[in-house]
Chain A
Amino acid sequence: MKPFGAQKGHVVDFLFTLALFCVFAASALMVVVIGANVYRQTVRGMDSNYDSRTSLTYLTEKVRQNDAANAVTIRSVGDSPALVLSQQAGERTYETWIYVYDGYLREVFVEQGVQVKPTDGQPIKEQQSFLAEKEGSVLTLTATGTDGETRRATVFLRCGE
């Protein structure tokens, strides 16, 4: 027959080992959870940066490429405001219409005078909404991304209004 103290010691040993194992398991789980959270935040940040950069940078570059006298105008396609960039090619004038329809930033290149329908545009990027405002020679572009965040960029039209 084993002494009582020895038997108790074994139970404590077992419990300690079990507790240690539980601590190990909990710590492993915690590290995984922290890792998942960090990854989620990083992905969200990257998506936000992508949303923030892409559409506004694209629009800004488009405007700069077509920065000529009276080449940048704001019109509408259906219910959506549209940025219209005109350019001369030979004796003809062509227009690039950029607008948001059905959750996408769209672009269509047409000859001046052609009626543009909302479905004509080629989808470029998912976008909730887009707004362009012109104040003198300053064009303000406001874009709301898929994350619901609204971002604004300003472009100074060097060739005037």
Chain B
Amino acid sequence: MAVHKTSRSGLFLLELMIVILFFAVTSAVCVNLFVQAHLTSTAGGELTAATREVQSAAEWLKAADGDLEKLAAQLDAKAADGRLDLYFDVGWNRTGAQDAIYTVTVLCAGQRMVLPGGGEITPAPTGREDYFSAVVAVWNEKGEILQIPVEKYLG
């Protein structure tokens, strides 16, 4: 009788361990997919907000005829050396440089900017006096999220 009980228990244990092994493999795959889904969703939200802010900055830049000083006055920011930075917190609200998670940078043609991730932004000069050209980019500590070229005929 005792032998019979041991055999049933051992068999159940073996079955359970096989099930757990299978479960462990599938759950590892599932958790990996969950993490990927979360990261993709976060990146999607980030890109949506980044697009909105970059477009707004580009529209302001066009309204200011590419004049960074004028743009800085309108957006309550500082411009220097053909570059203007707007700082945003995690909720995409304007903040100071110290608390910034995201930065929207307006970079005029002919300037160069190195990004934290190792990339760089170098808007090419147009070579025309009546043509304004710049790049508006949004980036965080990992690197560039998005950049768009902005051009306007000033004649």
Contact = CB atoms under 8 A, between A and B. Distances in A.
Contacts of B2: 2, 6, 10
Given A23-B20, A42-B41, A45-B45, 4 more contacts: A27-B23, A27-B24, A46-B41, A48-B45
Nearest to A44: B41
B5 A10 contact: yes
Contacts of B30: 31, 35
A35 B5 contact: no
A154 B16 contact: no
Interface stretch (A13-21, A70-78, A119-127): A13-21
A17 B30 CA distance: 25
A151 B60 contact: no
A20 B41 contact: no
A49 B45 contact: yes
A20 B13 contact: yes
Given A10-B9, A156-B62, A42 B23 contact: no
Contacts of A31: 27, 30-31
Contact of B56 (A42, A45, A154): A154
A20 B17 contact: yes
Interface in B56-99: 56, 59-60, 62-63, 74
Nearest to A7: B2
Main secondary structure of the interface of B (DSSP, over half): helix
Interface residues of A, number: 35
Interface of A: 2, 6, 10, 13-14, 16-17, 20-21, 23-24, 27-28, 31, 34-35, 38, 41-42, 45-46, 48-49, 52-53, 56, 136-138, 151-156
A21 B23 CA distance: 12
A134 B62 CA distance: 15
B55 A153 contact: yes
Contacts of A34: 31, 34
Contacts of A28: 23, 27
A23 B60 CA distance: 58
B42 interface: yes
Interface in B27-43: 27, 30-31, 34-35, 37-38, 41-42
Contacts of B142: none
30 contacts: A10-B2, A10-B6, A10-B9, A13-B10, A13-B13, A16-B13, A17-B9, A17-B12, A17-B13, A20-B13, A20-B17, A23-B20, A24-B23, A27-B20, A27-B24, A31-B30, A34-B34, A38-B38, A42-B37, A45-B44, A45-B45, A46-B44, A49-B44, A56-B52, A136-B63, A138-B60, A138-B74, A152-B56, A156-B60, A156-B62
